[in-house]
């Protein structure tokens, strides 16, 4: 039995996902790690809550079924391959195809970029029209990819680095962004206030349904 087979609760009421017969060394690590879920529903956002060498429990926004094949891509490019063992109330348990080294994987996932000293959030390829506001003007652009922390756009103007703009994405509240780079008709933007997990997760599902 993998850790993802059945949830259980500790005497204090905390829910964990490990087999009752698991040996002591097969520990479950409680984390809040954002990943990109790849399944029959395409790309989606997920948040890993519990992780061990043989499986995980994660929050998801897509309707998965038992035995669905899934992959979860983490910040450093690591991909966890497995199958869904159970789903309940927006959560899923996954048993890995092969065991992993938890400490090594978490160390890579926590590595920070040299430039911004930030952990880069998973990016999702999208394609929709957006509007940028600044200096009393509204300009059209095309959203190319999106993460909780920022966005990449195609646009016909090049604002100054670190300039503050407003970004209007259909289906999401308008928000303030800072320009990180602009080159050859493309813009890299960072959100002043990151997108919430629920906010981005639900939006991605709606975009997939509309495609």
**Contact at 8 Å (CB) between 78 and 109?**
yes
Whole-number pLDDT of residue 27: 66
Q: Is residue 3 part of a domain?
A: no
Whole-number pLDDT of residue 56: 97
Whole-number pLDDT of residue 116: 45
Q: pTM (2 decimals)?
A: 0.78
Whole-number pLDDT of residue 13: 52
Residues 90 and 134 in one domain: no
Residue 23's CATH number: 2.40.10.220
Residues 175 and 143 in one domain: yes
Whole-number pLDDT of residue 114: 45
Residues 133 and 198 in one domain: yes
* pLDDT by position in tens, the chain (length 211): 444 445 555 444 545 454 444 443 456 888 889 999 999 999 999 999 999 999 999 999 999 999 999 999 987 778 999 999 999 999 999 999 999 999 988 888 776 544 444 456 889 999 999 999 998 899 999 999 999 999 999 999 889 999 999 999 999 999 999 999 999 999 999 999 999 999 999 999 998 888 7
Whole-number pLDDT of residue 181: 95
Domain with 39 in it: 8-109
Q: Is the dihedral of CA 113, 117, 119, 123 positive or negative?
A: negative
Number of structural domains (the chain) is: 2
Residues 23 and 83 in one domain: yes
């Amino acid at each position: 039995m993998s850790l993802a087979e059945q949830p259980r609760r500790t005497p204090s009421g905390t829910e964990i996902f490990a087999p009752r017969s698991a040996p002591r060394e097969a520990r479950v690590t409680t984390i809040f790690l954002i990943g990109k879920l790849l399944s029959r529903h395409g790309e989606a956002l997920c948040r890993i809550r519990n992780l061990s060498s043989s499986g995980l429990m994660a929050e998801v926004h897509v309707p998965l079924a038992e035995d669905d094949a899934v992959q979860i891509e983490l910040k450093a490019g690591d991909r966890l391959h497995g199958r869904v063992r159970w789903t309940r109330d927006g959560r899923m348990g996954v048993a890995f195809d092969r065991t992993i080294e938890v400490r090594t994987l978490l160390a890579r996932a926590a590595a920070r970029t040299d430039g911004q000293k930030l952990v880069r959030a998973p990016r999702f390829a999208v394609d929709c029209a957006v509007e940028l506001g600044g200096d009393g003007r509204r300009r059209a652009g095309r959203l190319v990819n999106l993460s909780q922390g920022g966005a990449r756009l195609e646009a016909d103007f090049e604002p100054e680095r670190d300039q503050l703009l407003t970004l209007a994405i259909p289906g999401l509240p308008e928000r303030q962004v800072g320009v990180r780079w602009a080159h050859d008709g493309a813009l890299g933007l960072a959100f002043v206030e990151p997108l919430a997990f629920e906010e981005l997760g639900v939006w991605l599902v709606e975009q997939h349904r509309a495609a």
